[in-house]
């Protein structure tokens, strides 16, 4: 009997490096795939439809909400973001491991619906370093930077609602820690029912 895949939910404040960490995880672990979210924000330079996000207007997004097509959705940084259900559940059913890189609000909604997920919060080494990373990114104006820092304080206060906390001091270190978490989660007895059953039979 095939074991269900892991739903690995990764969150953290804007600028903490969660996107870079997820990219490295995917490069190093070909068995992992990422869920592509829908959003009403415009694509940034270099981003592509269907790879980074499914970009859409608010009317289309609301239609998907009305049809209950999202695992979660949230309004963050003046835009809507949502995780399409069908993609995620089909992958998990096939035994594939899926990474969800989403904001705190969305992650906590997923936890209510799918508590067996693995919830990991990425921490910056410090608030000063977080600000430096956002500024160096060069994709936000001063007003947006201030908004993201205010939101960061709120998000950090919810970090203990996650099972795991990983400090992103260096990306390779953070990636190795998450890989160790995934291995440990796969070895949990509650996820090994089919293995135990096959031995007993």
Q: Which residues are annotated as part of the binding site for ATP? A: 12-19
Q: Residue 83's beta-bridge partner residues? A: 72
Helices (H), the chain: 18-28, 58-66, 85-93, 104-113, 127-137, 142-156, 171-186, 193-200
Residues 156 and 48: their CA atoms lie apart, in Å, by: 30
Report the DSSP pairing between strands 118-123 and 7-11: parallel
| pTM to 2 decimal places | 0.81
What value does the CA radius of gyration of the chain take, rounded to a whole number of Å?
Answer: 17
Per the annotation, where are the binding residues?
Answer: 12-19
Tell me the C-alpha distance between 123 and 142, whole Å. 22
Q: Which residues contact 50 (CB under 8 A, 6 or more apart)?
A: 36
CA-to-CA separations, 65 to 79, 83, 152, in angstroms, rounded: 14, 11, 26
Phi-psi region of 15 (alpha: psi -120 to 50; beta: other; left: phi over 0): left
Q: CB count, 10 Å around CB of 41?
A: 14
Listed by start position, the domains of the chain span: 7-35+96-200
pLDDT tens for the chain, 201 residues long, are 557 899 999 999 887 889 999 999 999 998 899 888 899 999 988 898 888 899 999 999 999 999 999 999 988 778 998 998 888 998 899 999 999 998 888 899 899 989 999 999 999 888 888 878 777 776 667 887 788 788 888 889 999 999 999 999 999 999 999 999 999 999 998 887 777 777 887
* 7-35+96-200 CATH pick, 3.30.70.20, 3.40.50.300, 3.30.365.10, 3.90.1640.10: 3.40.50.300
CB under 8 Å to 86, separation ≥6 — which residues?
69
């Amino acid at each position: 009997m095939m074991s269900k895949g892991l739903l690995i939910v990764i969150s953290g404040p804007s600028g903490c490096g969660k996107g870079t960490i997820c990219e490295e995880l995917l490069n190093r672990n070909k068995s992992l795939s990422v869920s592509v979210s829908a959003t009403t924000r415009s694509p940034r330079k270099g981003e592509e439809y269907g790879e980074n996000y499914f970009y859409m207007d608010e009317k289309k997004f609301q239609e998907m909400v009305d049809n209950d097509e999202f695992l979660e959705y949230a309004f963050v940084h003046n835009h809507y973001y949502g995780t399409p259900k069908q993609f995620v559940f089909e992958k998990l059913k096939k035994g594939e491991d899926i990474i969800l890189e989403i904001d705190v609000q969305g992650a906590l909604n997923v936890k209510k619906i799918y508590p067996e997920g693995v919830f990991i919060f990425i921490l910056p080494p410090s608030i000063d370093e977080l600000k430096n990373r956002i500024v160096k990114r060069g994709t936000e104006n001063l007003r947006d930077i201030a908004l993201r820092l205010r939101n960061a304080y709120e998000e950090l206060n919810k970090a203990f609602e996650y099972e795991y906390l990983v400090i992103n001091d260096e990306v390779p270190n953070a990636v190795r820690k998450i890989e160790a978490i995934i291995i440990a989660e796969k070895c949990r007895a509650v996820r090994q029912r089919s293995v135990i059953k096959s031995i007993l039979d």
